[in-house]
Structure 1
Amino acid sequence: MPALIYSATASLDGFIAGPGGDMSWLTEHLGGENEAAERVLARTGAILVGRVTFGGDDPHRGTDKEGAFEGQYDGPVVVLTHRPPDDPPSACSPDGVEFATDLVTAVDRAKELAGDRDVNVLGADVAAQCLAAGLLDEVLMFFAPVLLGDGTPMFRHAGGTRVRLERLPGETEQWYRVVR
C-alpha cells in the first residue's frame, strides 16, 4: 500500500533549514550516491509540500540540480497553502503543480496523483500537520555533519508531542514507520 513519507536532510542539531529558511548550508553535503535517497525517489509518485517550502530557498537554485531530489524528481506536486495564487496552474499544466487549501484535500489529491506509488512530504509544517492528523506513515531523515544552531526544526509541535517510531526492517537507521 502506498505510504505518506516525510523525508528531509537535517543538521545534526535537527534543523532542516537555517535562519530565514536558508538552505545554502546543504549544498556542500549533497551529491554522491545515497541508496536510501534513490529508493525513496523511485517510490515517489507525488510530492506534498507546504507553500513556504515550495516558494523557499533551494541549495541548487539556478542549476540543473534545482528542485526536489536535486532536480531528479519529475512528477506531480500538490502545494498546501491558505493563500493559493490568484491564477493557479490548471491540473493538467505542464509543470504538474496543483494547490489545495486544506490538509485532507491535499493528501487525498497527492495520493490520487501518486497512484500505486508513495507521496513524499516536504516541509516541516506540513509533516507536523500530517502527524497530528494521523496521516503520516513513515519518516526518513538524512543527517549532514553540521550544526546550525537555529532555523526550522525537523519537527515541532506546540506543547510538545511524543511520536513513536519503529525502524523499518532492512532499511537505513533513519527510516522509520510511524506507530499508531
Structure 2
Amino acid sequence: MATLLYSATMSLDGFIAGPDGDMSWLTEHLGPNPDVDGLVGDIGALLVGNRTFRGDDPNRGTSQEGAFGGVWSGPQFVLTHDLPAAPVPGVTFVTDLGAAVEAATAAAGDKYVNMLGADVAAQCLDAGLLDEILVCVAPVMLGDGVRLFSRPGGDRVRLERISLTHVPHATNIWMRVVR
C-alpha cells in the first residue's frame, strides 16, 4: 500500500513559499540532494494542492520545469474546488480529499504518494492520513509567506525521526507521523 509523504524545501523560519506564493527564493538552494534524488524513483503519484498546481515554479520556462526539477513524471491528482474548463494531460482534478487520496494511492501502488502544497498536506494530517514528512531546511529566512504547516488551534502531532542528513545547501529531516 502507498505511503503518503509530504516533502518540501523550507526556510529556517518555516516558509515553503514567499509572499504571494513566490518561489524564486528557492533556485539558489537547489542542487544535488541524495535524499530527494533517491526519492524521485520511489514516487508513484503526486497529490497536489490547487494553489501549488497553479502557482509559481522557480524553473518555469526551463528544462527543469515541473515536479522535482522536471525529472519526475507520472500521475498527478490536484485537489481543488475550481475545476479547469479544459482537461490537462496527465492531471486528474478531484474535489474531495478522500477521493483524491484514494485515487492517488491506487495509482501509486506500493510507492509513495508525494504531496505538494501546504494546504493539502495539512488536510491529510488533520484527517489522519499523512504518514511521513521530508523537510529540506534551506539556510535562509524569508520572513513571510506560506508556512510548511499552519494549523492554528491544531493538536500536537508526535513525529519520529527517520533520518537527518546534511547537504551543502540544506539539512534534510525525514520524519514519520506517530499514530
- TM-score range for the pair, normalised by the shorter chain length: over 0.9
Q: Runs of 4 or more off by more than 6 Å in structure 1? A: none
**Offset of residue 171 of structure 1:** 5.8
One-letter identity of the residue aligned with 2:44: G
Alpha-carbon distance in structure 1 between the residues aligned to 2:95 and 2:128: 18
Give the aligned partner of residue 42 of structure 1. 41
* Residue 38 (structure 1) shift: 1.4
Pairwise CA distance, 1:115: 1.7
**Counterpart-to-counterpart distance in 2, 1:42 and 1:152:** 27
Considering only aligned residues, what root-mean-square deviation do their CA atoms show, in Å? Answer: 1.3
Bigger strand share: 2
Summarize the alignment of residues 129-148 of structure 1 with structure 2, pairs less than 5 Å apart.
129-148=123-142
Aligned residues, how many? 173
**Take 1:43 and 1:72, find their aligned partners in 2: how far apart are those partners?**
12
Give the TM-score normalised by the residue count of structure 2: 0.92
- TM normalised by structure 1 equals 0.92
Q: SS state of the match for residue 46, structure 1?
A: strand
Tell me by how many angstroms 1:86 deviates: 2.6
Other-structure match for 1:79: 78
Residue 169 of structure 2 is matched in structure 1 by none
Name the structure 2 match of 1:101: 95
2:150 maps to 1:156: yes
Instruction: Kindly provide the amino acid, as one letter, of the partner of residue 38 in structure 1.
Output: D
1:124-162 deviation line (CA, Å, top 9, x unaligned): 000000000000000000011110000000001131332
Partner residue in 1 for 2:54: 55
Gaps of 5+ in 1: 90-94
